[in-house]
């Protein structure tokens, strides 16, 4: 345990040294927030206009924290992991080591690259057709393709095809595991992206989720995943210091897509799908409310909430931004405890 904590601290120190020069670089290349998020529908426009007035001062905030974290975690892992046995750690895993590494970093980097492309398109107002020849809805399609590839790697390369339901049963889904796992990965990717709307919200929730899954991975003796999560936590803490209100840097889509997908894969690798739904419960709640509103407006032209996602609705109820973030963090801690309890069942 002491070594894993040392790895976490090492990641924290290196990321802390890199983040201020990185923020300065983002300012120089003007990789900054410039356009507010549009409302879910036209009938939410009034509420979003109010929110935009409250957040107008955030225009110009650097976007790209996810790029730094993905880079730092990947490079430090490549530096440390090949030599970890020399530090007295015996590598144990349930899966072929190479295949597990391929899966983790394929998810971590490929979704990050997709998000980075999206950031570049939005920040520099590029036309998607001129770059890829794809329509306006290319993002959901590419996310679903990547999620399906990742789920196929879980099934074919690692041989995972079961879901454990605590206290009830173990379901052997066979090849149906692929579409189910792909849907989970896709939904977490979308949910993280939706949740990443207030300073420190998504990154703080992610930190709570990772601490819970780190505890599970340590008890499961999955060295590969334990080292990866330790590095991720260390870098994330350094980033969160600059991301809490008022934020000096945001994750951007590179971080939100990568981290949402990789969080889902972490739960699937550990075989704790039900725990994942609780540990990542705020993300699940955010996307449920978002799509309930979307369906209600499309079918009935009526709103269930004055505005979505959830964190924006809480702001319209008069909660200051830091209060919304802190309260959701507290709920996430409680849900993570339930998830840990289910993980031991």
Could you report the per-residue pLDDT of 111-161, keeping only the tens digit for each? 999 999 999 988 887 765 444 554 446 778 899 999 999 999 999 999 999
Position 25 pLDDT exceeds 80: yes
pLDDT of residue 278: 97
Tens digits of residue pLDDT in 222-231: 999 999 999 9
* Over residues 99-122, mean pLDDT: 95
Average pLDDT over residues 12-26: 97
Q: What is the pLDDT of residue 57?
A: 79
**pLDDT (0 to 100) of residue 210:** 98
How confident is the model at residue 185, as a pLDDT?
98
Q: In this structure, what is the dihedral angle of CA atoms 30, 248, 256, 137, given to the nearest 10 degrees?
A: -40
Please give the tally of structural domains in the chain: 1
Inter-residue contact 197 to 37 (CB < 8 Å): yes
pLDDT of residue 130: 44
CA 95 to chain CA mean position, Å:
23
Angle at 286 between CA 284 and CA 288, to 5 degrees: 70
pLDDT per position as a tens digit, 186-218: 999 999 999 998 999 999 999 999 999 999 999
Give the integer Cα–Cα distance in Å for 254 and 121. 12
| Each residue's pLDDT tens digit, 270-298 | 999 999 999 999 999 999 999 999 999 88
Instruction: Tell me which of 306 and 210 has the higher pLDDT.
Output: 210
Q: According to the model, what pLDDT value does residue 131 have? A: 45
Residue-level pLDDT at 267? 96
Question: How many CA within 13 A on the CB side of residue 333?
Answer: 6
Greatest mean pLDDT range, 26-35, 84-93, 167-176, 197-206: 197-206
> String of b and e for 192-214 (b: at least 16 CB within 10 Å)?
bbbbbbbbbbbbbbbbbbbbbbb
pTM: 0.94
CB 19 within 8 A of CB 239: yes
Domain hosting residue 43, numbered range: 2-343
Phi, psi (deg, nearest 5) at residue 162:
-125, 155
Cβ burial 23-50 (10 Å sphere, 16+ → b, else e) = beebeeeebbbeeeeebbbeebeebbee
Rounded to whole angstroms, the Cα distance separating 220 from 65 reads 30
Residue 254 to residue 252: CA distance in whole angstroms? 5
Q: State pLDDT tens for residues 33-82.
A: 876 666 666 677 767 777 777 777 788 899 999 999 999 999 999 999 98
Confidence band for 94, pLDDT divided at 50, 70 and 90: confident
pLDDT of residue 345: 60
Looking at residue 41, what is its pLDDT? 60
First to last CA, the chain: 23
């Amino acid at each position: 345990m002491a070594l894993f904590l040392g790895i976490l601290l090492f990641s924290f120190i290196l990321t802390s040294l890199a983040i201020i020069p990185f923020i300065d670089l983002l300012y120089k290349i003007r990789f900054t927030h410039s356009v507010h998020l549009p409302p879910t529908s036209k009938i939410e426009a009034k509420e979003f206009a109010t929110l935009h007035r409250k957040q107008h001062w955030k225009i110009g905030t650097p976007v790209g924290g996810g790029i730094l974290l993905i880079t730092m975690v990947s490079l430090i892992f490549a530096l440390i992991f090949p030599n970890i046995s020399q530090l007295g750690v015996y590598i144990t895993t349930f899966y072929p080591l190479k295949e597990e590494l391929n899966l983790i970093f394929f998810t971590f980097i490929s979704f990050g690259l997709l998000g980075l492309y999206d950031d570049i398109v939005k920040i520099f107002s590029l036309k998607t057709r001129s770059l890829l020849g794809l329509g306006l809805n290319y993002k959901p399609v590419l996310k679903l393709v990547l999620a399906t590839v990742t789920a196929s790697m879980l099934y074919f390369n690692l041989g995972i095809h079961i879901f454990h339901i605590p206290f009830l049963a173990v379901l052997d889904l066979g090849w149906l595991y692929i579409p189910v796992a792909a849907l989970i990965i896709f939904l977490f990717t979308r949910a993280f992206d939706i949740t990443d709307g207030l300073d420190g919200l998504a990154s703080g929730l992610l930190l709570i989720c990772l601490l819970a899954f780190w505890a599970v991975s340590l008890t499961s003796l999955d060295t590969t995943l334990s080292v990866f999560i330790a590095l991720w936590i260390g870098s994330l803490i350094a980033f969160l210091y600059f991301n809490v209100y008022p934020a000096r840097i945001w994750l951007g889509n590179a971080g939100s897509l990568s981290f949402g997908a990789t969080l889902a894969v972490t739960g699937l690798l550990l075989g704790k799908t039900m725990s994942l739904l609780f540990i990542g419960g705020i993300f699940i709640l955010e996307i449920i409310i978002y799509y309930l509103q979307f369906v209600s407006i499309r079918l009935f032209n009526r709103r269930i909430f004055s505005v979505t996602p959830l964190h924006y609705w809480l702001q319209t109820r008069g909660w200051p931004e830091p209060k919304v973030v802190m309260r959701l963090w507290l709920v996430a801690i409680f849900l993570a405890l339930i998830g840990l309890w289910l993980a031991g069942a």
